[in-house]
Copies of this chain bind each other. A is one copy, B any other.
Amino acid sequence: MNTKERILDEALTLFSEKGYANVYVNDIAERVGIKAPSLYKHYKSKQAIFDAILEVMRSRFKETAGSLNIAGDDADTDADIYKTMKETDLVALGKNLFLYYLHDDYTKRFRKMLTIEQFHDESLSKVYMKQYFDDPLSYQGMLFGLLVQQGVLKTDNIPIMTLHFYAPIYTLLTVCDRDPSREEECLKLLEEHIKKFDELYGRDI
């Protein structure tokens, strides 16, 4: 990683921990191991560093095509996988997914930064909501639609079924972001949630 990239990396870490306004260019430079004025050879201003982070974030989000999708970014393939799964596989899948979003370094820091800065800039609210509400619900809704067609799950209201699957995952993620020591407890709840979800929506209406 070159200096320009390291600046973004350290800035993201600091912004996600303390928020933009509480991080000084000096702090960033110190972490990178250079003096503050040297930063300005790489970025025009502190704001430019922030903007560059958002750019990286946007392109990464595009790559993964909607976060918290089930197994990848192709709902048809995912549905095939899902169809032949036993309950334990489903739980393992949900758990791994949850852990990925919880622990993936970039994702995690982006999410924390968005949470802190979302009310500061309206466009960030929109990014946050797309990433953590609209995209997951849309993707998973598509997937659950297929599973309902195939008779794996049963419901007359797919959007609500999707909300019932996703909302607990989202809620538990926000808990772990705030207090990592509760991860074990949340994972247990996540597991029970998916089992019960499977049970509730596997039955005939």
- A residues near B (Cβ < 8 Å) are 16-19, 21-22, 112, 115-116, 118-120, 125-126, 128-129, 133, 157, 159-161, 163-164, 166-168, 170-171, 174-175, 178-179, 189, 192-193, 196-197, 200-201, 203
Contact = CB atoms under 8 A, between A and B. Distances in A.
B171 A133 contact: yes
Nearest to A191: B160
Nearest to A125: B178
A50 B159 CA distance: 41
A120 B118 CA distance: 14
B178 A129 contact: yes
Contact of A116 (B19, B160, B189, B196): B19
Given A19-B21, A120-B18, A196 B160 contact: yes
